[in-house]
Amino acid sequence: MPVIAVVGASSDRRKFGNKALRAFRAQGYTVVPINPHEASVEGERAYASVLEYPGTIDEATVYVPPEIGVRVVDDLAAKRIGTVWLNPGADGPDVIARARALGLTTVVACSILGVGESPAAY
């Protein structure tokens, strides 16, 4: 199964960054929480940046505000992540433009729904 980075993963189960991690894991993905303020999320070791993760990451789903996301997409491009999901609230026009300018395959949609789950289930 693909490896997905959840950028903005949170230990708070009410936040979408947590719901996404659980939804992707339920679908069989290997999940990599990305949050510089968390040591682990849902039992998974967290990393401050995708660049700190030692392995390959196939996709990323972004749950951070646009002012952070516009900087994060540079790391996603440097890590050569194939597909980037920009979720509602993280999908500012500057973020979308920057991701596309960097050549990232960009999906502007809810990744939880995209993986066939409902956020309400989590």
Residue ranges per domain, the chain? 3-117
For each of the chain's 122 residues, which pLDDT tens digit applies?
899 999 999 999 999 999 999 999 999 999 999 999 999 999 999 999 999 999 999 999 999 999 999 999 999 999 999 899 999 999 999 999 999 999 999 999 999 999 999 898 89
What's the pTM value of the predicted model, to 2 decimals? 0.95
CATH architecture of 3-117: 3-Layer(aba) Sandwich (3.40)
Q: In angstroms, rounded to a whole number, what is the distance separating the alpha carbons of residues 106 and 122?
A: 25
- Specify whether the CB–CB gap between 78 and 54 falls below 8 A: no
